[in-house]
Amino acid sequence: MADVARRPAGAAGGISDEKRQRLLELVRGRTAARPTDLAEDEVMVWPTLVVVEALSAVIFTFLLLVASIAVNPPLVDIANPTVTPNPSKAPWYFLNLQELLLHMHPALAGVIVPTMALVLIAAIPFVDRSPLGVGILFTSDKGKKITVFSAIFTTIVLIALIAFDSEIGVTRSLSGKVAPVVYEQLIPVAVMVGFSVVLGVLVSKIYRPTRRELIIALFTGFVVSYFVLTIVGTFFRGYGMEIQLYWPWTNLHEGAH
């Protein structure tokens, strides 16, 4: 700019002051940055998206109100460190970990497994970097089949494992015969890693998956494990955290008294 300003008027190739002013003109027509130029696959956020958000906010406010008016959550007796309820249970979203606690060393169940789970989940996008299948639920038909397969496989294996440990009992059978590290740590780790590998190998053999689809199998295994263990821990663990096959709501509340 400074260069232009210093240039004497009427110099070769230059523009006289008079002419320069005349260069400023209003150009009618579209500017490049009009916010209202919609491409074919685009919609305005107002109203299209904002309406959906407002509606779902209204619906869920209503549902919350109805639930809050209909059912009061428990407020049992005042905290008493000298009276231990049986069973004592963690909040429901940690009951999966409390369920694991019944089958392995507390350091594994309470800390190492959940930490590993979170770290592995966070690492997913650094392992699966191909943009293939973005934006498509389950990526492909094969992805859907793998999800269902993995869910059924995980459910069956988990229920079988819990039943086995509850009826026969790894700790019960082995304690006194081998070092505790075997049944508290080695066997549980072997079982968890082993069945993940079995799931991976089975899915690889049956479906010839891409890396993304293999990760779908493993992630589904995690989600279903979380779900099954939470359900078992919440509804099927009663007095002394023994398996109990009837509805235990009363138990939860009695236990707290």
Partner 1 sequence: MRREHTIADRVTNSSLWRAVVRHGYPDTERNQALIIASNVFLHLHPVKIKRYATKVTYTFCLGGLSFFMFLILVMTGVLLMFYYVPSTTQAYQNMQDIEASVTFGQLMRNMHRYAAHGMVIAVFLHMCRVFYTGSYKPPREFNWVVGVILLFLTFLLSFTGYLLPWDQLAFWAITVGTTMAESAPLLGPKIRFLLVGDNEIGQATLIRFYTLHVIFLPLAAALMMAVHFWRIRKDGGISGPL
Q: Are 100 and 108 in contact (CB under 8 A)?
A: yes
Residues 6+ apart with CB under 8 A from 252: 87, 89
Place of tokens 């997913």: 124
Which 8-state DSSP code applies to residue 31? -
82-86: long-range contacts (C-beta < 8 A, 24 or more apart)? 85/255, 85/256, 85/257, 86/239, 86/240, 86/255
Output 8 or 74, the one with its CB closest to partner 1.
Answer: 74
Which 8-state DSSP code applies to residue 157? H
Cβ at position 117, least distance to partner 1 in Å: 10
Cβ at position 70, least distance to partner 1 in Å: 9
* 31 HSE (CA, 13 A, CB side): 6
**The pair of three-digit structure tokens given for residue 203, joined into one six-digit string:** 């899915």
104: left (phi over 0), alpha (psi -120 to 50) or beta: beta
Cβ at position 150, least distance to partner 1 in Å: 12
Output 9 or 59, the one with its CB closest to partner 1.
Answer: 59
Output 164 or 239, the one with its CB closest to partner 1.
Answer: 239
Output 114 or 182, the one with its CB closest to partner 1.
Answer: 114
Output 14 or 106, the one with its CB closest to partner 1.
Answer: 106
Output 162 or 224, the one with its CB closest to partner 1.
Answer: 224
Cβ at position 211, least distance to partner 1 in Å: 11
Cβ at position 156, least distance to partner 1 in Å: 21
Output 139 or 154, the one with its CB closest to partner 1.
Answer: 139
Cβ at position 147, least distance to partner 1 in Å: 7
SS3 119: helix
Cβ at position 139, least distance to partner 1 in Å: 6
The Cβ of residue 227 has, within 10 Å, a number of other Cβ atoms equal to 15
Q: Cα-flanking dihedrals φ and ψ of residue 178, to 5°?
A: -130, 170
